[in-house]
């Protein structure tokens, strides 16, 4: 497994105005963080993404928009 490190400046700079702007929750993180993690971890068709805590749903939404990722 590969370690994933995210630049906090990137997280703070970018905001998405799509689905994630329906409401703002201070502790949520931008969708591009999930997308970057999925890309970095080489998630492929048929892989399972487990998001046990769900939170505001950012991970689930981004995985669904990738269309080929199964969610648990």
Give the pair of three-digit tokens for residue 41: 């971890």
Check whether 67 has a pLDDT greater than 70.
yes
Read off the pLDDT of residues 7-48 as tens digits, 9 standing for 90 and up.
Answer: 555 544 455 445 555 566 666 778 888 888 888 888 877 788
Residues 33, 11: contact at Cβ < 8 Å?
A: yes
Q: Can you list the alpha helix ranges (DSSP code H) found in 1-72?
A: 8-13, 31-40, 58-65
Q: What is the mean pLDDT of residues 61-70?
A: 77
Q: What is the mean pLDDT of residues 49-63?
A: 83
Domain ranges of the chain: 8-71
Phi-psi region of 46 (alpha: psi -120 to 50; beta: other; left: phi over 0): left
Check whether 4 has a pLDDT greater than 80.
no
pLDDT of residue 48: 82
pLDDT of residue 68: 66
């999930």: which residue's tokens?
A: 34
């Amino acid at each position: 497994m590969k370690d994933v490190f995210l630049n906090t400046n990137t997280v703070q700079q970018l905001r998405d105005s799509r689905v994630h702007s329906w409401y703002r929750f201070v502790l949520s993180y931008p969708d591009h963080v999930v997308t970057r993690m999925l890309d970095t971890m080489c998630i492929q068709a048929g892989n399972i993404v487990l998001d046990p805590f769900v939170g505001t749903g950012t991970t689930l939404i981004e995985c669904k928009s990738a269309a080929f990722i199964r969610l648990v």
